[in-house]
Amino acid sequence: MATHRTAASTAPITYTPAGPINGPTFTCPRCERVYPYPPDHGKPVRCECGWWYTNLGHGRIIEEFRPRIGGAATSGPEAAAGPASETH
Ligand SMILES: [Zn+2]
């Protein structure tokens, strides 16, 4: 009397780093690196240059600048250093 049913399995998703990109691609407008297009409401594209691109669906991409920890100081005297303050 054992009705052994296997549950409907979802297709496995394999993420291969640095593999060939199949399907649509997203090009970072800041540094022109090419990534797989971020899925709707899915994981954002995290570009090497520090910008994140999140797909809100319907082709809407929001851009956020999230530098890596320690990448950009937000306090302290060094944070104010800009191109105009060259004091070599
Ligand atoms: Zn970039």
Where are any strands of DSSP class E within 5-86? 25-27, 34-36, 45-46, 51-57, 60-65
12 alpha carbon – ligand 1 mean position (Å):
29
How confident is the prediction along the chain (88 residues), in pLDDT tens digits per residue? 666 776 677 877 766 566 677 889 999 999 999 999 999 999 999 999 999 999 999 889 999 999 876 655 555 555 555 566 555 6
Residue 57: its pLDDT value, please? 92
Ligand 1 mean position to 86 CA, how many Å? Answer: 26
Q: What's the rounded Cα separation, in Å, for the pair 5 and 27?
A: 45
